[in-house]
Homo-oligomer: A and B are copies of this chain.
Amino acid sequence: MKTKENHKTVIIDWKPNKNLDKPIYLQIVEYICNKISNGHWLIGSYLPSQRELSKLFDVNRSTIVSAMDELVSLGIIESSFGGGTKIISNTWSLLISKENLDWNKYVKSGLFKSNNSTIQTIIKLEFEDYIRLGTGELSPGLFPHHMMNKIFNKLSTKAYSLNYTEPLGLIDLRIAISNRLKKLGINANPSSILITSGSLQALQLISISMIKKGSTVFTEDPSYLKSLEIFQSAGINLSGIPMDNEGIKYWDINNSLKTIDRNLYNCLLYTIPSFQNPTGTTMTTKRRKDLFEFCKKHQLPVIEDCAYSELWIDEAPPLPLKSMDVNGMVLYVGTISKTLAPGLRIGWIIGPESIIERLGDVKMQLDYGASSLSQLVLTEFFESGLYDEHLTYLRKELKIRRDNAINSLNEYFKDLGTWNIPSGGFYIWLTLKNNISIDKLFKESLKEHILLNIGSIYSFKANHSLRISYAYEDCLTFRNAICKLSKIIRNIS
């Protein structure tokens, strides 16, 4: 992974035309010059290797060599030490047009950091042909198309509107969510609920609307939150707090809290109490109570992320922290991405009305609200009872997949690592023996078309872990991939 870290490789989406009179190597030279002069490719980015170029352009190596020679002599590329051909100048384009714009300084400006390069790689490869052993999504086959068709039919007879929605989101959806929350001991009226474009956006709204630069957000180590750049981009420190198998060891926060000037900076705690991402851990009832008391005592507001809590396999998890919250100290975040369809992009956040109003105002500034079509569809899912029916089905499916996953690990990984048995959600946190290089494993697995979510994405510390998800691949594919993975490990260690 290291060498590629800062390399941005350009994308080739063209082939030379072998029927033209113009020599093929020259066609390639012109294609590359054009891409640079019109700003598509930036100075400092890299060309694919000559071997890859010859494949991509569908020409033989000697043609590539001629083209590269020409580009070097034009001063447009240079071969850098350690492999890789770098774009160094667009002098060629400057010959044509002195007014050529240098986008470089724009791309490097702006508040927002780039995603971590491992994550960028994973996101890209997810849309290619890999077996996805760590993906945090249900397999598309689990989506209830027949239910969706019923809902399309229903909508066809309704007089809905697809105009801009109210700042907090569709009122019927907020009422439906409010009713669902009652069963979890949460009393939230619709004006304390904000619909967001997925729960990721809920977190982003909090990060840009409510937390001062320099403030600290405490979270489990490892945590989903660590894989996001949103808090860091807003200048907020993330602080990882160790876990045991009952949940976050909150008492470890004490020391850090003492060093923070609470008059100057805000602090928050972010936690995923049920079927945590990435460890699969569920916080016990006692730990929830103690954590809640601790936060109350220290005036530490809590963001409670319940993305997976409906996905229990063995038994329902303890009630959410929000159910203990009479003083409005907990911001509760929910989503249907893990239970129904991430592509709907609907999440929500529950909190004191004053906070919800502020977040809703900022949301209106970002994108004028979530898709009302998605909101309408989800409202129907909730109101018709189809959503609950689907959950029942899903729990059974997840049980089969979880059991298959544990069996597969038992069969192939006994001597290679350790893991937990999650009682719901998607994830198993697999920790390998520490003589195995995870970076090497990631690369070697790619060669075998297996895509891994390595532990360093989620953890604050160096580790030898993988986030395994049994939600995406079917049982057979999963089992075979685990078998293959064990072989790769035996080969490289």
Q: List A residues at the B interface (Cβ < 8 Å).
A: 10-11, 13, 35, 37-42, 45, 93, 97, 99-103, 105-107, 109-112, 114-115, 120, 123-124, 126-127, 137-138, 140, 143, 145, 148-149, 152-153, 155-156, 159, 161-167, 189, 191-192, 196-198, 200-201, 204, 207-213, 215, 228-230, 233-234, 266, 296-297, 299, 301, 326-329, 337, 341-345, 351-355, 358, 361-362, 364-374, 377
Contacts and interface: CB of A to CB of B under 8 A. Distances in A.
A291 to B, nearest CB: 14
B39 A354 contact: yes
A165 B369 CA distance: 19
B162 A106 contact: no
Given A101-B327, A102-B299, A301-B106, A354 B45 contact: yes
Nearest to A201: B367
A40 to B, nearest CB: 4
A362 B112 contact: yes
A446 to B, nearest CB: 19
Contacts of A197: 197, 345, 367, 370-371
A99 B345 contact: no
Scoring A11, A101, A138, A234 by chain B CB atoms within 10 A of each residue's CB, the highest score goes to A101
A327 B40 contact: no
Nearest to A42: B354
Given A100-B327, A345-B369, A367-B200, A137 B163 contact: yes
A149 B151 CA distance: 12
A181 to B, nearest CB: 15
B41 A353 contact: yes
B368 A342 contact: yes
Nearest to A126: B164
19 contacts: A101-B327, A103-B354, A106-B355, A111-B208, A114-B362, A127-B166, A143-B162, A145-B159, A149-B156, A162-B342, A164-B342, A198-B367, A230-B365, A341-B373, A343-B371, A343-B373, A345-B369, A345-B371, A373-B377
A341 B296 contact: no
A200 B342 CA distance: 22
B371 A101 contact: no
A403 to B, nearest CB: 24
Interface centre among A137, A164, A189 (most CB of B within 10 A): A164
A103 B102 CA distance: 45
Contacts of A196: 367
Given A161-B343, A162-B342, A361-B114, A327 B371 contact: no
A365 B229 contact: yes
A343 B45 CA distance: 38
Nearest to A209: B110
A191 B355 contact: no
A368 B345 contact: yes
Contact of A200 (B39, B341, B366): B366
A304 to B, nearest CB: 14
Contacts of A164: 126, 137, 337, 342-343
Contacts of A35: 353
A301 B163 contact: no
Nearest to A262: B105
A60 B138 CA distance: 56
Contacts of A39: 327-329, 351-352, 354-355
Contacts of A210: 106-107, 109-110
B198 A368 contact: yes
Contacts of A149: 156
Contact of A328 (B101, B212, B296, B329): B101
Given A163-B341, A201-B367, A361-B120, A41 B103 contact: no
Given A343-B373, A373-B373, 15 more contacts: A10-B353, A39-B328, A40-B192, A99-B296, A109-B209, A110-B210, A114-B362, A143-B161, A162-B343, A165-B343, A197-B345, A197-B371, A200-B365, A201-B366, A344-B373
A359 B440 CA distance: 30
Contacts of A361: 114-115, 120
A56 B108 CA distance: 53
A435 B138 CA distance: 64
Contacts of A97: 326-327
Contacts of A114: 358, 361-362
Given A127-B166, A210-B109, A362-B112, A354 B40 contact: yes
Given A40-B353, A97-B327, A103-B355, A370 B368 contact: no
Contacts of A208: 110-112
A369 B370 CA distance: 11
